[in-house]
Chain A
Amino acid sequence: MENQEQQASAADVLTQAIANKLDYLSTLQAAVQHGDDRKVYELLDQARYYQEVKKTRPARSVNHLSELVDNIHPQVSHYLSDNLINYLGHIYPFFYYEEYTTGLFHIYFGNWWDRRLFGDLDVINVQFQFDQNEYQKLKDSFALESQNKRLNTAKIESVSAESEKLQSLVDAQATRDNQKAQLRDQLKENSQRSSLPWDSSKVKDERQGIIDQLTKLADEDEKALNAHKLIKENDDKILVLSKEDTILSYEKQSIRDAFDDFEHFEAHNASLYADYLNSLLGKSEGEVKADD
């Protein structure tokens, strides 16, 4: 008998547990059917919802029921993305999203030529996951503004200086040719000198000096020969750097137009979840009352 009672109560417990899950799922289903995205977000992460939106602790202890939908996150994300991206479009008009596979979104910054892939949009958590490398460049670029510099100003200056040096090497070809002719004459003269024993070391030293100078000039000639190719390569490098600076200047301008400065932009990103859900709360207030 006792065993049967235990059995019965075990069944009750399980039935209740299953009922909780069914209840969770049917609530979620109803929310989706009614287009109540706020409710869906609440169900997906009750702890966060209460903490960040309601600013209270959840009434019940956290039940982990949201794990039930873990394996349909792509569909959930795909569903929620419509309204979220619409909302983001107003606040971050410079971000563009591409759903590269169901429920997963790439973020592109801007619509200018060769705009950057800037990270991913996490729809379920209402969060940007910026590419750290790209984000850092933007941050650095803002920081450099106070010095009136762009991210690549220093690099561009150094590459340009190198090109200038190469160009002056090319320009000095005629001067070098003259020098070489003179040195060769000196060499001839040197070799024709009587090699009296007491003079020989002096003549030898002089000869070596001339040869060293000629070698140095020959080295410069060779560098000058390659200069055009190197200058061309430097031009390409400068183009890549200028392009990146141009892209960053567009990004900065976009952020300033929407948020005034980078700090406000970061603050908005940090409170995005709460801001978005509060905006949904405002929209669905009637429904919320009906639920209560």
Chain B
Amino acid sequence: MINENDPSTLTTSGRLLNYNEAIKSGLETGLKFTQLMDQLIKTTDPDELVSAATQLADFELDSDYVTFPHQYSNSDYYLLFMSRMLELHDQGKHVILQSRDHHEELTQQLTPLGDRGTFNFRIETSENGGVFYRERATGQSLFYLNLERKMFRFNSHALTQLFIIDLHDTVPAETVKASVQILFDFARYLKEDYGYSVDFNILDMANRQNYAVRSADLPAGVVDRLFVTAAQNDYMLTNGVNGNGAEIALDKNVVVDIFNNQLEGQPEWVITVHDDAQQVSWFDVLLQYPFMRDWYLENLNDLEIQSDPLIFG
């Protein structure tokens, strides 16, 4: 009785055939890989680009009989994907991909930021899958991306730590703004072109965006502190329109509200930023107004804007 799964039962030629088939299949995998790589690097069709990246994201190049000694890691394909995506939107110059000399590994810099930040993707090993876009020196994960689930989530904590705190003293606000804009645009293309579910978080410029603060039941003293510091900076914190919070009119018709979004039951304090053109986010307010920044950071324990708890919990 010949059992194909049991080599001991095979004839010599049968074994060779099996071996040959395994090699062929391993080489086919390699070929498929090179096709996908071609597609990822060369295609000018955004759909093909996303398709190549999605397939490469969990591509297993090695098989039992064929292994490839020189390989990039899956996370590198994400960097490539990001660069290409920006390139297809005429923003290719906004990121710089760098490969290491002695081994296959990619890192990325945001052009405006230069060597003040080096970025790569880190594979999430839990069954959630996906990757975190991370600044290497600080380890701050600025966003989460999952191609399979079409999910994109910005992380308020990391954006604040890196751009509002760490780089604040040495990098001008316009440079920070230009750098973050690249990440924002990348997310926007995924949302607009491929219907990704994107949480722009503190970068969201829409007036309707409610930024939920960490202390859902915000202590009154936190708002009182803004009232006092605003007055010292010639701005007035007024009673909110809806009577359950406070409001501050900044310049150029930019209005920030801090209020309890629940009229009954469990309180849920949120911040909103309104402007005529819907071009200003909470992040922009923090960049532009030192007293708002100081207030936010001094009360970060209560005020930190919540990120997706399932990803950044």
Chain A: minimal CB distance from B241 (Å): 10
Whole-angstrom CA separation of A146 from B221 in the bound complex: 31
Identify whether the interface residues of B are mostly helix, strand, loop, or mixed: helix
Count how many chain A residues have C-beta atoms less than 8 Å from C-beta atoms of the other chain. Answer: 13
B residues in contact with A249, CB < 8 Å: 231
Cβ 8 A contact of A111, one of B221, B231, B238 = B238
B residues in contact with A236, CB < 8 Å: 221
A residues in contact with B246, CB < 8 Å: 113
Interface string of A214-256 (1 = CB under 8 A from B): 0000000000000000000000100110110010011000000
Cβ-based interface call for A112 (8 A): yes
Interface string of B226-270 (1 = CB under 8 A from A): 111001000011110000001000000000000000000000000
Whole-angstrom CA separation of A111 from B227 in the bound complex: 12
Interface string of B194-229 (1 = CB under 8 A from A): 000000000000000000000000000101111110
Whole-angstrom CA separation of A265 from B106 in the bound complex: 72
Cβ 8 A contact of B238, one of A112, A239, A240 = A112
Cβ 8 A contact of A112, one of B221, B225, B239 = B239
How many A-B pairs have beta carbons closer than 8 Å: the answer is 34
Chain B: minimal CB distance from A106 (Å): 14
| Contact across chains for B238 and A113 when beta carbons are under 8 A apart | yes
| Contact across chains for A243 and B239 when beta carbons are under 8 A apart | no
Cβ-based interface call for A57 (8 A): no
Chain A: minimal CB distance from B302 (Å): 14
| Contact across chains for B238 and A114 when beta carbons are under 8 A apart | no
Identify whether the interface residues of A are mostly helix, strand, loop, or mixed: helix
Whole-angstrom CA separation of A249 from B232 in the bound complex: 11
| Contact across chains for A113 and B227 when beta carbons are under 8 A apart | yes
Please judge, given known A-B contacts A243-B227, A246-B228, A250-B231, whether A115 and B239 are in contact too, CB under 8 Å: yes
A residues in contact with B221, CB < 8 Å: 236, 239
Please judge, given known A-B contacts A236-B221, A239-B221, whether A111 and B228 are in contact too, CB under 8 Å: no
| Contact across chains for B239 and A111 when beta carbons are under 8 A apart | yes
| Contact across chains for B231 and A246 when beta carbons are under 8 A apart | yes
Chain B: minimal CB distance from A151 (Å): 14
Please judge, given known A-B contacts A246-B231, A249-B231, A250-B231, whether A112 and B236 are in contact too, CB under 8 Å: yes
| Contact across chains for A246 and B227 when beta carbons are under 8 A apart | yes
Whole-angstrom CA separation of A112 from B227 in the bound complex: 9
**Residue of A113, A246, A249 with highest tally of chain B CB at under 10 A:** A113
Chain A: minimal CB distance from B128 (Å): 40
Q: Which residues of B contact A (CB under 8 A)?
A: 221, 223-228, 231, 236-239, 246
Known: A111-B239, A114-B227, A250-B236. 11 other contacts (CB 8 A): A112-B236, A113-B223, A113-B224, A113-B226, A113-B227, A113-B238, A239-B221, A239-B224, A246-B227, A246-B228, A249-B231
